[in-house]
Structure 1
Amino acid sequence: MNKSHFRKNSPEIIAFGEAMAMLVADETGALECVDHFHRRVAGADTNVAIGLARLGFHVGWLSRVGDDSFGRYLRKTLGDEGLDCQFLHTDPLHSTGLVFKARANHSEDPAVEYYRRNSAASQLCIEDAKGIDFSQLRHLHATGIPPALSSATCELSEYMMAKARNAGASISFDPNLRPSLWKNENVMRETLNTLAVKADWVLPGLSEGRLLTGHERPEAIADFYLDRGARAVIIKLGPQGSYYRGVLNGQLESYTVEGIPVTRVLDTVGAGDGFAVGLISALLEGFTPSEALHRANLIGARAVQVIGDMEGLPNSDQLKDLTQHLI
């Protein structure tokens, strides 16, 4: 990747949040019993950024890492993945976030332990985004994780979404609920719903939508956000696929797109991020919402068949092969 090219050109997509170094257990069992781990990159926002870069988009990554070995590892790895890291700042006073991840049995969610309190990324603030040329931005991807890290990162989320909206860029918002990071559930619900309705595309999971809106059915969850300003709501239904409800060409459309059958689930972490990659990439490429949901289901299904948070995200050639195989 030509990094000098990145310095001269503004990203068409921006994602922001916390990338963490992740140590993944090499064998199953409780983390306290594991002797050997391998190093990877973790972070929902990062996964989406990497996935979009693999599909050929010029993606800028806004974050902070510590002036430490994990921070240098993240900077190199994200750059090697094709991310534009000109907005990845080094914080000399705070360390890079770290997460340990167990090796799961079968399709269960793996246990994870985070060490991110007062991390470098939790110190992100509006000033860190001052160098971004929003006039060149096509799309902003935001999640509910940065608003949970600190008051400064919450202010940054509001700033990024306002600047993108004023510049005419599309905005996607994935709640990515992390209840343990919030003061309480009410604060989480109020903050994330306020941000979600500033987005064009809202991407909750079904359980997330129920918790955030108080409604049970996908139609009611979607209407909660549509009535408050969102253009479309896409609800992840797990193996059952995904549900779309939104206004297209002045008409309200709603439908479910069936999921992709998976015979063996190895790692569920990152499935929602893969879904977001598929949806955003397809919509930006001009596909219909139905086609976009199909791609989102496809990449989400691929993600759960590979061990690792972002290892299953395809490049353009792999996506083409996957799509042709299912036709």
Structure 2
Amino acid sequence: MVNDVVTFGEAMCMLIAEKTGDLIDVEKFSRNMAGAETNVAIGLARLGLKSGWVSRLGNDIFGTYIIRTLKQEGVDISNVRLIDSNSTGFLFKSKTLKGDPHVEYFRKYSACSTMSIEDYNEQYFSSFKHLHVTGISIALSQSVKEFAEFAMKNMKNKGKSISFDPNLRLSLWNNEKEMVRAINSFAEDADIILPGISEGKILTGYNSAEDIAKFYLDKGLKVVVVKTGKEGAYYDTGKESGFVPGYKVEKVVDTVGAGDGFAVGVISGLLEKLPITEAVRRGNAIGSLAVMSEGDKDGLPTREQLNRYMSC
């Protein structure tokens, strides 16, 4: 059997405030799940692609909840390990009417941070056409970083395509210099990179999407797509380049997860052999749907919902 996209990383239980204001003043929360890589895996599964997610979770109620949710979404979790020694991470997220929510993470020494090369199942990974990696995973611990490097090298050697979303989280690194060096080193092993414009400025030192794209093309990447927020995205393949305008969003509910939705659109589009402009357009569409929903994954559409939205 040939599967479509495999990814790996940390999933956490997310507790979302039911009213606005400082988290310390909130008494009631609703439960959901969070994780950049699981968002992508779920988004792809909802479009009908065969996606898989690899990780370690604590053998606890949060881990069980995440497993159950991913099964319901149709994501393959046959290579997820439940362990007793470490717990599943969790987070609290504020409710906001405008702008980015405040998030408090409780992920140090989480089960996922204990992942290592021994978690790499070569037969399983080789059954997928494409590997998606984010910069969050490589920041969790040295052993997860080694796993990521091993996975990318092996998939590349087997001729599989690889996408990389920098997903910068400075709080997970010792300093910005270390973060930039590590992210750019991993990016060189990918075929596709999907930085936001602000991330690109930090990682390359350039201010324009065009210069950011050229920086990564010169390092050997095949496709660079720079997200420019509500304006849309700029793409460059070395052969063709251009700007694809974004979708108008009536009301921004929650910006978290928009980049993951964008990745779902671009990756699925390219795997389906769409022209790069149409893949980026799909990314813009799913990203815009994501910001109009509260949960990180709630706005990710089914194929029918996406087709209807894009045809309007």
Fold-level match, TM-score > 0.5?
Answer: yes
Which secondary structure does the structure 1 equivalent of 2:53 belong to?
A: strand
**Structure 1: 4+ residue segments shifted above 4 A:** none
Q: How does 1:71-150 map to 2 (within 5 A)?
A: 71-106=63-98, 108-130=99-121, 132-150=123-141
Q: Does residue 278 of structure 1 match 2:269?
A: no
Structure 1, gaps ≥5 residues long: 1-8
Of residues 37, 47, 55 in structure 2, which corresponds to 1:45? 37
State the one-letter code of the partner of 2:296.
D
Q: 2:149 is matched with which residue?
A: 158
Q: Give, in angstroms, the shift of residue 324 of structure 1.
A: 1.8
Q: Does residue 296 of structure 1 match 2:287?
A: no
Q: Does residue 321 of structure 1 match 2:312?
A: no
Q: Deviations over 1:186-219 (max 9, x none)?
A: 1111111011111111000000000011111111
State the one-letter code of the partner of 2:182.
T
- Maintained 8 Å contact 2:91/2:104: yes
**Whole-Å separation in 2 of the counterparts to 1:103 and 1:135:** 41
**Whole-Å separation in 1 of the counterparts to 2:123 and 2:303:** 27
**Whole-Å separation in 1 of the counterparts to 2:36 and 2:25:** 27
Q: Give, in angstroms, the shift of residue 17 of structure 1.
A: 0.3
Q: 1:265 is matched with which residue?
A: 252
TM-score normalised according to structure 2 size: 0.98
**Whole-Å separation in 2 of the counterparts to 1:10 and 1:259:** 33
- Maintained 8 Å contact 2:18/2:95: yes
Structure 2, gaps ≥5 residues long: none
Alpha-carbon RMSD: 1.0
Change (3 A) 1:32 1:132: farther
**Whole-Å separation in 1 of the counterparts to 2:206 and 2:275:** 27
Residue-pair matches, total: 312
* Amino-acid identity (%): 50
TM-score normalised according to structure 1 size: 0.93
Q: 1:199 is matched with which residue?
A: 190
Q: Does residue 309 of structure 1 match 2:296?
A: yes
Q: Give, in angstroms, the shift of residue 68 of structure 1.
A: 0.6
Q: Does residue 61 of structure 1 match 2:53?
A: yes
Please say which of residues 92-101 and 158-167 is displaced more in the overlay.
Answer: 158-167
**Whole-Å separation in 2 of the counterparts to 1:130 and 1:300:** 32
**Whole-Å separation in 2 of the counterparts to 1:318 and 1:138:** 25
Q: Give, in angstroms, the shift of residue 10 of structure 1.
A: 6.0
Q: Give, in angstroms, the shift of residue 132 of structure 1.
A: 3.9
**Whole-Å separation in 2 of the counterparts to 1:147 and 1:59:** 20
